[in-house]
Amino acid sequence: MCGIVAYIGREEAFPKLLSGLKRLEYRGYDSSGVALMNGDLQVVKRKGKVSELEQAVSGMNLTARMGIGHTRWATHGAPNDVNAHPHLSDGGRLALVHNGIIENYDILKKALTKEGYTFQSETDTEVLVNLIDAIQREENLPLEEAVRLALTRVVGAYAIVVMDRDDPQKVVAARKASPLVVGLGNDAFFIASDATPIVEHTNKVVYLKDEEIATISLGKGLDIKTIENEQQRPYVQELDLKIEQLEKGGYDHFMLKEIFEQPQTVQDAVRGRMHPIEGWIKLSGIEEYANRIIHAKRIIIVACGTSWHAGLIGEYLIEDLARINVEVEYASEFRYRNPILTEDDVVIAISQSGETADTLAALEIAKQRGALIYGLVNVIGSSIARLTDAGSYIHAGPEIGVASTKAFTGQVTLLTLIAINLAHKRGNISEQRYHQLITELSQIPQKIERVLESNKKVEYIAAEIKDRPNALYLGRGYNFPVALEGALKLKEISYIHAEGYPAAEMKHGPIALIDEEMPVIVIANNPSAYEKIVSNIQEVKARKGYVIAVVPEGDEVISQLADQTIEIPATDEPFSPLLSVIPLQLLSYHIALMRGCNVDQPRNLAKSVTVE
């Protein structure tokens, strides 16, 4: 949700800002801009993708050794050139980029207007830059001190970087609830919303903590203070990230690459945590809090979007195998409804980015009320990972496509491992069943490889239904959340209206929508409900719906009924979501492509939602 990048060093800043913005574009892409310290502050910003900015600057003299850049996901004010960042203070002394929301911007704006400040844009960001300017002028303070005092008056979330025309050797950065990383190069510093623009320059980074303010000047280096003016010692970490992970590697889109990475994702999620032959599972987070987790009265899973769908599968897994009561909550609802929590509860947050504002806030409430909080997070060092008592990283590597695919399978794999582990520790399953489950889990990567072989067939089916305005996804049991996820994927990237439904609930409403125009995608690989799913397909066919069924290899019954089938290897039911979601991801990918949509950067969405 908005990407920030900044550079201060001895080389040309602009090319570094531009390549950084391209790396961060997944965070927001409705407008972008840069400010360069060039004697004066030179600002260029454009509505649209970073490529528009690139075109706009061609022929300009952009010589500067220091600059800030931003790619935006609009919150306050429409996406246009004026609302794009960076924003200048009235008079043009300061330039600022911002990710987050200043909630009390209206009050601040009124006060600043009384002082004579005028505003060009509709953004909360312009209010913040003028607030800093006002404090700096009034008290003749250095930039970092003015930033610090301004932030004490701000309510909301922010990651900011500011430059001062009258102090041209320095940048100041600060964060609260929005991420910011400082890269330490050779006589150069980088600041960014995540490490992706930094890794090609240096692997030494400092992750800023909430309410820390970093002042960087060449010669003096990096200085960190808290908003309370306490000096902090920077904790330098080495990045575990390779540039190849950030590139498309021969695929046309990140989404396709990430779909095809899923055999590896599953393997990486269990690597070092499970041994099918020796028969052990070790999850250090679970071991550390074994007593509380094994004896938990309740597990509450909080998440948003695709991660919430993974959570729903977690509910089926943990209740079915470990027999612990599970509730799955939208983080945004949970945080505002005064939930009942006790020390006997375990709250699991699932998040790819580890930065989703609602999930983070839900966890804070759970922590305050004494529950054990556990994170299933992909991005290492992210806010959720740092807040939790314990957790397990998904280790899916960077996910760049805005529509989540491999992070989902990584999350479901870990939930599966946790459920099997708890079931074994609690004595809910026999040794034989335990071994059977971990043996099957170890075979899932090869089975996903086989599912991926259906890509051509899925592409053919996509061509058949790409122009239909609606789609219905049906699943039962473990595959009901997969139906929700399949529908979400289609909506997100192809803009076709789609709904996921429990197959048996269809007759309580959605059946009214079915006619020959309605594609109905039925996930039919649950052995326990096979006959019931066959009946549901009959019901759809009786109303002339166009049925696409995901079926176990060699199926003969459904293939007689359905218009199209996609075969996937048979598996033990708890693992079926890990296979059945793959053709649904491919289906949405191909349909979006055929409709000319931007698969990796769908309209209005952002990868990391750091606002409420």
CA 491 to chain centre: 17
Of 417 and 609, which CB lies nearer to ligand G6P in the complex structure?
609
Of 217 and 352, which CB lies nearer to ligand G6P in the complex structure?
352
Phi and psi torsions of 479, nearest 5° = -95, 5
223 with 206: CB under 8 angstroms? no
Of 332 and 571, which CB lies nearer to ligand G6P in the complex structure?
332
Distance of alpha carbon 201 from alpha carbon 484, whole angstroms:
41
106 with 65: CB under 8 angstroms? no
Of 305 and 398, which CB lies nearer to ligand G6P in the complex structure?
305
Cα atoms in the Cβ-side hemisphere of radius 13 Å centred on 182 = 27
Distance of alpha carbon 261 from alpha carbon 438, whole angstroms:
21
Of 37 and 177, which CB lies nearer to ligand G6P in the complex structure?
177
100 with 123: CB under 8 angstroms? no
CA 167 to chain centre: 37
Of 205 and 484, which CB lies nearer to ligand G6P in the complex structure?
484
Examine residue 86 and say whether the peptide bond preceding it is cis (omega within 30 degrees of 0): yes
Is-catalytic flag, 2?
yes
Distance of alpha carbon 568 from alpha carbon 581, whole angstroms:
10
Token code pair at residue 49: 């993708």
CB 384 to ligand G6P: min, Å: 8
SS (H, E, C) 38-95: ECEEEEEEEECCHHHHHHHCCCCCCCCCEEEEEEECCCCCCCCCCCCCCEECCCCCEE
CB 350 to ligand G6P: min, Å: 7
CB 361 to ligand G6P: min, Å: 12
CB 397 to ligand G6P: min, Å: 14
Residues that bind ligand G6P (CB under 6 A): 304-307, 351-353, 356, 359, 402-404, 605, 607-609
CB 142 to ligand G6P: min, Å: 36
Q: Are strands 156-164 and 94-102 parallel, antiparallel or unpaired?
A: antiparallel
CA 354 to chain centre: 7
Is-catalytic flag, 597?
no
Catalytic residues: 2, 607
